[in-house]
Amino acid sequence: MKYIPALLLSLFLMAACGETTVSPVTPILPTPTLPTELMGETAVVPSFPSPAYGAQAFLWWKPEIAQWQEGAQPHEFVMLNEMGFGWVKQEFSWRDIEGIEKGARDWWRADQIVNAANDAGLKMAARLDRQPFWTDPPDNQWKDNQPPSDYQDFADFCGAMAERYRGRVAAYQIWNEPNLDREWGDKPPNPVEYTALLKGCYLAIKAADPDAIVISAGLAPTGTSTEQVMTDMDFLQGMYDAGAAAYFDVLGLHAPGYKTPPAVSADEAAVSEEYGNGRWFAFRHVEDMRAIMVANGDGAKQVALMEMGWMLHQDMHEGYIWHGVSEEEQAQYLVEAFQYAADNWRPWIGLMTTIYFADQSWTQENEQWWWSIVLPDGTPRLSYTALSEMEKQ
């Protein structure tokens, strides 16, 4: 998704609303470094290979999917196989499947995508979110992504999808970045509410497909708490306080590297102006989140990075200019991130999802275009070639 530093995001949103005061930044205390044996404890119960290699694609409206026939493949699947990556993440918008009324589900396009992935020998991680508008509460309608007024409606959809694709969709990510208001109906992020949503979906999926892996929503790394944003560390602890540990198999996180090389510690990023003066600007901020898991007695689970990458330097999107890297650096950092995880985060690191195989509609006007490893027409960037040639452990 869109990675704007949290303080800049809150300033922008307050300016847009005509506010002239700045909410105080919540201080983030350094997370103690855990002993190696605790960070990589042997009691981890694997859901994924450690690591599992994946990338995110956008296949829903592709002509190749609409015209799919057995044996034909979109270029994303061909390229994933060529690079030796066995997992693909794809968004399945609830709105696109059950958009008219409850129970009126159109599975045709979802069937095409799942069939094509299965034929290609790829494992599918499906992201589920984006409510149909018939589920909106009367006082908060037409938001791009918000929880439904009745959480059971989402649970029923999750269960229906898991039943239809039992044994064919391997993992489900439940929602996206709920610690940002723009992914929660423009309402203040609320880990208790998110846990309630997660619980219903988890129980429904497990009833339909007990072997499916349920991944909690990828959390946006942030260091500021306002009405618009909650820090990922606070949000995760709030989830645990609400009982979320019983309702996910793998913890979902997002790990953009911003300006920071992957081996740089969060401690160093926190005191470096070049790297943003924040722990959350380090790829290794993942270790801070892992520490919270362990502290809550949840260390037996793996972590899945549902979005990870570095953005190319550009001057079209002002909020992103400061952390742009060269194409050579993007390639190098992605390879080093996989290597660092394999060397230091086993066995608790699971799926690592690179962003992106670009959507066919993106142009340079879309900031996601600058994160992508493959352009909309299938042209590979240096990072794609580097990841293809990287040794898979």
For CA atoms 287, 293, 296, 297, give the dihedral sign.
negative
Q: Closest Cα to residue 253, out of 227, 223, 226, 288?
A: 288
> Which amino acid makes up residue 367?
E
pTM for the predicted model, two decimal places: 0.90
Q: Closest Cα to residue 56, out of 383, 348, 353, 384?
A: 353
- 27 vs 349: which has the higher pLDDT: 349
For residue 321, give both structure tokens.
């200019």
C-alpha distance from residue 98 to each of 91, 102, 132, 163, 280 (Å): 14, 7, 7, 15, 36
**pLDDT at residue 11, as a whole number:** 33
- Give the pLDDT confidence of 363-390 residue by residue, as tens digits: 999 999 999 999 999 999 999 999 999 9
Torsion of CA 117, 123, 128, 134, to 10 degrees: 30
In sequence order, the 6+-apart residues with CB closer than 8 A to the CB of 259 are 274, 275, 276, 281, 322, 323, 324, 325
- pLDDT at 27 > cutoff 90: no
**pLDDT at residue 365, as a whole number:** 97
- What superfamily would CATH give domain 37-389? Glycosidases (3.20.20.80)
CA separation for the pair 140, 149 (Å, rounded):
9
**pLDDT at residue 72, as a whole number:** 74
For residue 181, give both structure tokens.
């208001």
> Which amino acid makes up residue 364?
Q
**pLDDT at residue 43, as a whole number:** 74
